Structure 1
Amino acid sequence: MIDNDLRMSGSDSPGEPAAHVGFLLIPDFAMLPYVSVIEPLRAANRLSGRTLYRWSHVSIDGEPTPASNGVQIQTDFRVGTDEHFDYVFVCAGGNPTLFKHPATFAWLRQLARRGVKIGGVSGGPYILARASLLAGYRFTIHWEHAPAIVEEYPDLDLRRSLYEVDRDRLTSGGGTAPLDMMHAIIAREHGTDLAMAVSEWFLQTHVREGTGSQRMPLRERLGIAHAPLLRVISRMEQSVEKPVSRGELARVAKVSLRHLERLFRQHLGCSLGEHYLALRLDRARELVRQSSLSVLEIALACGFASASHFSRSYRARFGQAPRTERLHETTAKRH
């Protein structure tokens, strides 16, 4: 969603300088969300016939930065530059919990004190949280990183939306969600007509509201249309840390426990308990890959009473212990 008090950095006055947008590229950043921010700026310039925006790239050392797909982006500045920016978007992907660079966090805080609008896309909001720039703000992040950021920063106001613009903080999930965010920003700065033209330029026939969900509805994701069963699965997904009893789930479905078990077998090919365990282990795997929590902390966050029970269950589902998978993930990212 977008606030009504978003300040304008551009202007329709021909003599007004272009808004300078900085892209802070964190190694292993996700390419698609980055492109979904920068391309609307280019289109706005072309379709308006004026230079409304200009942009520069920043890296932690001033060297080219690799995206997660291996493409390297040349950078213009290094972290700490005194260059004037109106916006700075932090682009990150991979596992942003591994990024620990005090100079970057300090520079972002300095920019915020200067009144620069600070944004983050995909995993970028995690970097903003590490820099202590999200306290008191609504924000969102790619759903893959959401469990980890909730565990590390439980007091922050995370929304499971496509994008959030709260005063001078602009955050969006991954994929093409930034296209929708940039539509809203361009509309506020330079009018709805230009924003619509930009969206049509990219064949964006439907501009999504910021409050839209990042993930497909359960009905589409699982390919089932049984309403009581969908209610139960939704409740299960919302209750990973403190699993709900089978009796309570039957009450949610308004059927007997025996009938609910039959529904799981019929529609999902497994028992209620097997599906619930799989949900909890899938969430655990996200935390193993996307957080720095200990194995015991992950076990407790996913409803397991002990690290040993968790590790056995994890190995049975994924073929390796959580510590082993984390070691492989960390080693792969370093290479």
Structure 2
Amino acid sequence: MAEQPQTVGFLLIPGFALMSYAAAVEPLRAANLLTGRELYRWVHISPGPAEVAASCGATVACTVTAGTPVDLDLLLVCAGGRPASFRDKATLGWLKALAGRGMRIGGVSGGPVILARAGIMDGYHMTVHWEHAPAVSESYPNIMLSRSIYIVDRNRLTCAGGIAPLDMMHALIAERHGPALARQVSDWFMHTDIRPAQSAQRASLTARYGVHDSRLSQALDLMDSHPGEALKRGETARRIGLSARQLDRLFSEKLGVSYASHYRKLRLERARDLLRQSAAPISEIALGCGFSSASHFGRAYREAFGVTPASERRPAPGSERN
């Protein structure tokens, strides 16, 4: 076992995801408890306020302000559902300076978006919560983005959030103190199914839609992978070996909706993610999601969600997610 305690800093961005933060810090506490030794120390860091509120309203007191000299072995940035709206230049500059000094830095849930905004992910593989992925791909085309639950690439760690930090912390504890202790910590939290880093973030299409027809699964997969430039019904049917009429009947019988209606729903959901997570112009998002004009997009969006596209860019208190 390593003799010196590791100090982990948690930079809490207002609206951070409480579950993701807890899943990252609690394994450190458990490791200390189970060994009867101080293997880890942690410090809470704020971009400014003395207390930072999570998306659910719970607050965490912070003893360090971003920019203040602090001795850390690892810094984890915890953010919530609207990380693209965080634009504090001092904090972003501090992150860049720490990266320049070779510090090991990670992001949890929306945290990887903050790392990208700080300009410290170029040349690294990273992951992020699936809700943020479309916006990250649009805003940072040079970043090597994966849909894994977590990625450790040299001195950068990124984690998709939710309960995935439990899996990442298992790997980090095993790295420093061995797999036996990591297993004890995971068992402490009854997290017995340890997932490898490359595990999927979401359930399979079969599980999500409750379908077991291989042809429909293929069609859904094709649609899911072409959310912007929509595949024509006839092209999708041809690729899975059906006629357009058979494809329509398949959607009607298995999902209760038409092919066109389901595709429209997918495009609108992608547009909503981009509106919430990126600064791209609404007209650009409309065209990128397959709508002929901003006005056409606006009508469809209001019909689907009951609000205008512009209103999605005015976050309500407590609206941050994941």
Does the Cα contact within 8 Å between 1:59 and 1:79 map onto a contact in 2? yes
Q: How many residues align?
A: 320
In structure 2, runs of 5+ residues without a counterpart are none
Letter in 2 for 1:228: R
Of the structure 1 ranges 284-293 and 66-75, higher mean CA displacement relative to structure 2 is found in: 284-293
Does the Cα contact within 8 Å between 2:7 and 2:42 map onto a contact in 1? yes
Equivalent of residue 267 in structure 1, options 254, 262, 269: 254
In structure 2, the partner of 1:69 is: 56
In structure 2, the partner of 1:17 is: 4
Does the Cα contact within 8 Å between 2:55 and 2:318 map onto a contact in 1? no
Does the Cα contact within 8 Å between 1:62 and 1:76 map onto a contact in 2? no
Does the Cα contact within 8 Å between 1:64 and 1:75 map onto a contact in 2? yes
CA shift digits 1:252-307 (9 cap, x unpaired): 22111111100000011111011101110111111122222211121122122321
Does the Cα contact within 8 Å between 1:228 and 1:252 map onto a contact in 2? no
In structure 1, runs of 5+ residues without a counterpart are 1-11
Per the TM alignment, residue 325 of structure 1 is displaced from its structure 2 partner at its CA by 3.4
Does the Cα contact within 8 Å between 1:57 and 1:77 map onto a contact in 2? yes
Equivalent of residue 208 in structure 1, options 186, 192, 195: 195
Map 1:32-51 onto structure 2 (within 5 A): 32-51=19-38
Equivalent of residue 142 in structure 1, options 119, 129, 134: 129
In structure 1, the partner of 2:230 is: 243
Of the structure 1 ranges 185-194 and 22-31, higher mean CA displacement relative to structure 2 is found in: 185-194
- Partners in 1 of 2:311 and 2:114 — Cα distance? 26
SS at match of 2:132: helix
- Partners in 1 of 2:311 and 2:147 — Cα distance? 30
Residue 92 of structure 1 pairs with residue 75 of structure 2: no
Residue 223 of structure 1 pairs with residue 210 of structure 2: yes
In structure 2, the partner of 1:179 is: 166
TM-score when normalising by structure 1: 0.92
Per the TM alignment, residue 185 of structure 1 is displaced from its structure 2 partner at its CA by 1.0
Does the Cα contact within 8 Å between 1:140 and 1:161 map onto a contact in 2? yes
Runs of 4+ deviating beyond 2 Å: 324-327, 329-334
Letter in 1 for 2:159: S
SS at match of 1:143: coil
Per the TM alignment, residue 36 of structure 1 is displaced from its structure 2 partner at its CA by 0.6
Letter in 1 for 2:139: E
SS at match of 1:144: coil
CA shift digits 1:226-269 (9 cap, x unpaired): 11101111110110111111111002221111111000000111
Per the TM alignment, residue 333 of structure 1 is displaced from its structure 2 partner at its CA by 6.3
Over the aligned positions, Cα root-mean-square deviation in angstroms equals 1.4
Per the TM alignment, residue 17 of structure 1 is displaced from its structure 2 partner at its CA by 2.1
SS at match of 1:65: strand
Does the Cα contact within 8 Å between 2:57 and 2:318 map onto a contact in 1? no
Counterparts in 2 of 1:221 and 1:115: CA distance versus 1, 3 Å: same
CA shift digits 1:1-57 (9 cap, x unpaired): xxxxxxxxxxx24xx321110000000000001001101111111222221110000
In structure 2, the partner of 1:128 is: 115
